Amino acid sequence: MSSLNLDDFTDLIERPDGGVRRDAEARRERQIVPPGSLGRLDDLGEWLAAAQSAVPVRPVERPRVVLFAGDHGVAELDVSARPAGSAGELVREVLEGGRPVSVLARRLGVPVRVVDMALDCAPESLPDEVVRHRVRRGSGRIDIEDALTLEEAEAAFRAGVAVADEEADSGTDLVVLGDVSVGGTTAAGVLVAALCGTDASVVTGRGGLAIDDLAWMRKCAAIRDALRRARPVLGDQLQLLATVGGADLAAITGFLLQSAVRKMPVILDGVVVAACALVAQRIAFRAPDWWLAAHSSGEPGQAKALDRMALEPLLDQGVKVGEGAGALLALPLVQAAAALAAELPDKPEPEEIQKAEESETGDGFEESDIT
């Protein structure tokens, strides 16, 4: 029996400040560029102002990429283009600067934090700050067994909460959230199908490396079998994460909820994070107001989850690599929206226009009056 009361998040999470958002909208109407002419950048600036409870909006100065990592036992079924248990290699490449997210983060000057929750590798092969929250070595094969025990799911969830607190306490003002996993998109597909009441085929995508048709069919069958195990526990979100999620997914869910509690905005990456967001929305319906959907990855499960949460992606570049890379591409847009909202000057008042015209024509006299 878990000692964690998820219902507390419903009471703890407030919506971003609606009054501040109205003030931001009023400020926008006064600015020299007509409202609406900047498209979604207007909405982004107003959303960020409400999240910060500040007008004018403050610049995003301390963003951070946070990646939760884990291996999934279901990858043994060859549902991924990567070998089962190889997520640790991806993590090492991220840390060494060789992954897309590493390159983008370096270019944008954003630090990257990786949190190992269930990698299938020796913990001593990675830095202590990466492995200190690890719950177990690999998550269970969800088509035939639970991903985690309930106690492990609670520990992973609490780890996500703790990481969110650490980031908020350190001054992080926006998080780019992603995952590093092998088999994670299969677990994500199960969660989305279960919570949206759809069939496995509707949510089964081809992953970051575009699996072939046979692998897609194996993945679809694995999601179908896991879905049968998920449906009886739909009313208990922690048990759902234990049954068909994984330690990394449970941690992401806890992180998303606690970030909303701490009023720390989050940019969501791909299908894994979207699936966790859907679970978090079931726990606390106000939480999605603190999140931005960065991009459309082309994964059907992600599209289904974002549609259910009424979150519209900012970008559509077909980035499927995961690891927060697509979400990081959206960060400059958010920073641009903040700069425009804060720095565009107000349009001049009619009196100021008249004075300017008078000064140009000689204190109000027309040229024809001068002889």
Judge if 208 and 94 occupy the same domain.
yes
Judge if 115 and 254 occupy the same domain.
yes
Does 371 score more than 60 pLDDT?
A: no
DSSP secondary structure, 260-292, as one string? HHTT--EEE-SHHHHHHHHHHHHH-TTGGGGEE
Judge if 258 and 346 occupy the same domain.
no
Higher-pLDDT residue of 321, 281: 281
Decide: helix, strand or coil at residue 201: helix
Q: What percentage of the chain carries pLDDT values higher than 90?
A: 85
184 occurs within a structural domain: yes
Judge if 272 and 201 occupy the same domain.
yes
Classify burial at 233, counting beta carbons within 10 Å of its beta carbon; exposed 0-12, middle 13-18, buried 19 or more. Answer: middle
Closest CA to 30 of 335, 359, 352: 352
Higher-pLDDT residue of 339, 207: 339
Which residue type is seen at 188? A
255 occurs within a structural domain: yes
Judge if 71 and 43 occupy the same domain.
no
- Number of domain units in the chain: 2
Judge if 34 and 122 occupy the same domain.
no
Judge if 48 and 67 occupy the same domain.
no
CATH number at residue 268: 3.40.50.10210
Closest CA to 111 of 179, 70, 69, 62: 62
Decide: helix, strand or coil at residue 342: helix
Strand order of the β-sheet with 63-71 is 112-118, 63-71, 174-182, 266-268, 291-293
Residue 170's domain comprises: 63-330
Mean pLDDT of 30-34: 91
The average confidence (pLDDT) of the chain is 92
Model pLDDT, residue 210: 75
Judge if 177 and 215 occupy the same domain.
yes
41 occurs within a structural domain: yes
2 occurs within a structural domain: no
Closest CA to 244 of 301, 198, 184, 199: 184
Model pLDDT, residue 367: 46
3 occurs within a structural domain: no
337 occurs within a structural domain: no
Closest CA to 324 of 49, 32, 116, 104: 104
Judge if 216 and 350 occupy the same domain.
no
Q: What is the pLDDT of residues 206-263, one digit of tens each?
A: 876 778 899 999 999 999 999 999 999 999 999 999 999 999 999 999 999 999 999 9
Judge if 283 and 353 occupy the same domain.
no
Q: What is the pLDDT of residues 38-90, one digit of tens each?
A: 999 999 999 999 999 999 999 999 999 999 999 999 999 999 889 999 999 99
6 occurs within a structural domain: no
Higher-pLDDT residue of 116, 207: 116
Q: What percentage of the chain carries pLDDT values higher than 70?
A: 93
Does 130 score more than 80 pLDDT?
A: yes
137 occurs within a structural domain: yes
CATH number at residue 32: 1.10.1610
Judge if 95 and 180 occupy the same domain.
yes
Positions marked active-site: 323
Judge if 181 and 302 occupy the same domain.
yes
What sections of 197-348 are H helices per DSSP?
200-203, 213-230, 237-244, 247-261, 271-283, 300-309, 325-343
Does 18 score more than 70 pLDDT?
A: yes
Q: What is the pLDDT of residues 149-181, one digit of tens each?
A: 999 999 999 999 999 999 999 999 999 999 999
